[in-house]
A and B are shown apart, each in its own frame.
Chain A
Amino acid sequence: MDKIVFTKPKLLNDTPMHYCPGCTHGIVHRLIAEALEELGDTDHVIGIAPVGCAVFAYNYFTCDMFQAAHGRAPSVATGVKRANPDSTVFVYQGDGDLASIGMAEIVHAATRGENMTVIFINNGIYGMTGGQMAPTTLPGQKTTTSQGGRNPLEHGNPIKICEMLSTLTGPAYIARTSVHDVKAVRNTREAIKKGFRMQREKKGFSLIEILSTCPTNFHMSPVAALEYVKTVGCEAYPLGVYKDVENGF
C-alpha cells in the first residue's frame, strides 16, 4: 500500500512563486508554514507582508494576511495582535524594510515586547527595486547605488540588527540563522518554531534574522550565492542566539 511520507504544509498553497531562481524566500516561507504546522498552530495565524520582494507573500500562504506600508509591518502587527490577542502573528520583512525605513517601528515593537514573531530576511541588498545598497550591505559590496563597492567613509556602515535589539529588555528571543545549506535550514526551522512557541506561551517578542541570498542582484549563480552567504555573510553577521529569556539572557 502506498504511504504518504511527505506533503506540502497546509499553510502554503500551490501558486508558483514569483521569486528568482536560487532566491531563498521560498525556503523561508516553507519553514514558517512547517513550523506552525508542527506546533499545531494554524487556525488563527495572521501574517504581515512587507514592501520588497515578499510584498506578494500573501499569494503563497493560505492564512489571513495584511500587506503593510514600507517598514510599518511591526506597527500593523501591533494593531492586529491588540485586536486579536489570541491569534498567532508573524511579520515578514527584508533588510531595507526593517533596518532602514522601518527602524523605528521594529525597535519599538521589540522594546514594548509586543507578542509577535518577526522573520527578518537579511540578504544585504534591495532586491525588488534592482540591487541598491541596503542598510546591511557589507563594506566593499558593489550595488547599483554603491558601484565602486560600499565605502564606509562615503556610505556609512552596515547595521547589525540582532546585536542592536538584544541590548533591549523587551524582546524574549532574538536569533540569527542562515539558509545556506541543509544544516542551516534545519537550524532556522527550529529557531522559527521556538519563536512561534514562545508567542503561543505569551512570552513576548521574537525575531529570527535569516541570512539569505539574492543571486540576481549579487550577480552570482544560486550555488555561488549560497557559498557567499556561508563564508562572507556568516563572518560579517555571526550566527547564534542573541537573546533568550528561557535561558536567562
Chain B
Amino acid sequence: MKQLLKGNEAVAEAAIAAGCRCFFGYPITPQNEIPEYMSWRMKEVGGHFVQAESEVSAINMVYGAGGAGARAMTSSSSPGVSLKQEGISYIAGAEVPCVIVNMMRAGPGLGGIQPSQSDYFQATKGGGHGDYRMLVYAPSSVQEAADLTYKAFFRADYYRNPVMILGDGMLGQMMEPAQIPEAVDVNSLPKKSWAAKGNNGGKQRVINSIFMNPDTLEAHNAHLTEKYEEMKKLDTMFEHYRTDDAEVVLVAYGIVARICKAAVDMLRESGIKAGLFRPITLFPFPYGEIAKLSDGAAKTFVSVELSCGQLIEDVKLGLFDSKNRPEVGIFARVGGNVMKPEDVAEYIKSGRITQSWIK
C-alpha cells in the first residue's frame, strides 16, 4: 500500500522494515524528521533510539551497536556528517556494517539549510582519514529513498562496510506516494559470528582498526580494497533516460536527475537529441556506462549538479579513454539554489558549453 510520505520519513520507516533496531542521531536541519520519527517508532518495534550529545557521539554509538551485531543507523546533514568522519573511518577500518544518511545542505562551513550536493567528494572519495570507501546510494524520489535505504542494510551486512544514503534537503522534505518494502523478521536475519556481543568463554571477537605492524596493515588495506573492487562488479547502479540516440547527455544524480528528465523532454521537443544518464550508486561510479555512451552518438556531456564542479570530475574520468573526445560541460546552481528544467534546457540550447560552473 502506498502512503504519502516525506523523504525523511520514508528513509526512517524503510530502515525499520530492513530490521534496523538501533538509531542514534542529533538534530540538524533538513533531516530532523528522521530522528523524530525514530524516537517514537523504535519504541513500537522494541528497538533503541538515543538522541546523542553530538554527531561525533552518535556515529560512535553506531560503531558500538553495529559491532555488537545490530542493524544500526544514524542520519545527519552536511556539517553533522563532517563531524562523523572520524567515526566512519573507524567503522570502515573495523569492518562494521551500518547505514549513514546525509540529507545534504549547502556549504562550506555552516552554509545554509537549502538543498545541495556539495558533499559529493566527501561521500565518494573517502571523507575521513585513511583509505576506505563506502557504498553510496543517491535516491531521486521518495520511493527510491525507501527502496535504497532498505537495500543498504543488506549490502552493509554483506560487505561488513558502511553504506551511505546521499540525499539532499529537497528529497528529505518533499512528500510523494511511496511503498515501504515488506518488513523483515529481525530474528531470522543471518547470525553474525564476528560480532562482539559476549563470547561465553569462547573465541574472543575484537572490533578494532589498529594494526601496528605495517605488513599486517597493508594486508588489511588490500583486503578492504578487494571489497571495494567487488562493489564495482556487483553493486554499480544507474539509469538511462532517452540516451539511445542522444547527442547531448546530461549526467545528474538525486533530485537534479528529476529536473533533468524534464529538461531532456523539453530539448527533444525542440529537436535536440538529448538524454539523461543517472548514476544511482555514486561509489561505485558507473564510469563504464559513460565510456559506452561516448563510443556511440554522444558528442556532448553536461554534468548538472548542485556543487561547484564535483560530479564533473567523475564524468571526465569516465571519458578518460574515450577515442571521440566529446565536449564536457557543467551546469550548476549552488548555495541552496536549485535549477529549473528550463534553465538546463536553455543552457544546452545556447551552445555555450563551459567547464566552469561560474557563468
Per-residue interface assignment for chain A, residues 65 to 80, with 1 indicating a CB less than 8 Å from any chain B CB and 0 otherwise = 1111100100111111
The interface residues of chain A lying within 8 Å CB-to-CB of B234 are: none
* Smallest beta-carbon distance B158→chain A, Å: 19
Residue among B57, B70, B209 making CB contact with A75, cutoff 8 Å: B57
Partner-contacting stretch, out of A39-47, A157-165, A200-208, A212-220: A39-47
Instruction: Find out whether the CB atom of A69 lies under 8 angstroms from the CB atom of B207.
Output: no
Q: Is the CB of A45 within 8 A of B86?
A: no
A65 and B52 contact, CB distance less than 8 A: no
Which residues of B have CB within 8 Å of A80?
64-65, 67-68, 196-197
- Check A79–B200 contact: CB distance below 8 A: no
B interface footprint on A29-72 (CB within 8 Å = 1, 0 otherwise): 00000000000001111101100000110100111111111001
Q: Once the chains bind, are B204 and A64 in contact (CB under 8 Å)?
A: yes
Whether A105 pairs with B198 at a CB distance below 8 angstroms is no
- A168 lies within 8 A of chain B by Cβ: no
In the complex, which range does the number of interface residues on chain B fall in? 35 or more
Contact flag A72-B87 (CB < 8 Å), given A64-B199, A67-B208: yes
Nearest residue in B to A72 (C-beta to C-beta)? B60
The total of chain A residues at the interface (CB under 8 A) is 38
CB distance from B244 to the nearest CB of A (A): 48
A44 to chain B, nearest CB (A): 3
Check if B139 is an interface residue, CB within 8 A of chain A. no
Instruction: Decide if A239 is an interface residue (CB 8 Å cutoff).
Output: no
- Interchain CA distance A123-B14 in the complex, whole Å: 48
Question: Once the chains bind, are B210 and A83 in contact (CB under 8 Å)?
Answer: no
Question: Which residues of B from 215 to 267 have beta carbons under 8 Å from A?
Answer: none
What's the Cα separation between A61 and B94 when bound, in Å? 19
Give the number of residue pairs across the A-B interface with Cβ within 8 Å.
143
Tell me, yes or no, whether B63 is within 8 Å of chain A by CB.
yes
Interface residues as binary, B172-212 with A (CB distance below 8 Å gives 1, 0 otherwise): 00000000000000000000000011111100111111100
Cβ-closest chain B residue relative to A10: B201
Q: How far, in angstroms, from A43 to B198 measured CA to CA in the complex?
A: 6
The residue from B64, B87, B90, B209 contacting A78, defined by CB atoms under 8 A apart: B64
* Whole-angstrom distance between the Cβ of B205 and the nearest chain A Cβ: 5
Q: In chain B, residues 41-60, which have Cβ atoms closer than 8 Å to a Cβ of chain A?
A: 48, 50, 52-54, 56-58, 60
Beyond A72-B87, A83-B68, A83-B72, whether A78 also contacts B201 by CB under 8 A is no
**Apart from A58-B206, A62-B204, A78-B57, 13 more pairs, CB < 8 Å:** A63-B204, A64-B205, A65-B208, A68-B63, A69-B86, A75-B63, A78-B24, A82-B64, A82-B70, A83-B69, A83-B72, A104-B53, A105-B57
A-B contact pairs, 19 of them (CB 8 A): A44-B197, A56-B210, A67-B206, A67-B207, A68-B63, A69-B87, A69-B90, A78-B61, A78-B64, A79-B72, A80-B65, A82-B22, A82-B48, A82-B50, A83-B21, A83-B65, A104-B56, A105-B60, A107-B53
Which residues of B does A touch, CB under 8 Å?
21-22, 24, 48, 50, 52-54, 56-58, 60-70, 72, 86-87, 90, 94, 196-201, 204-210
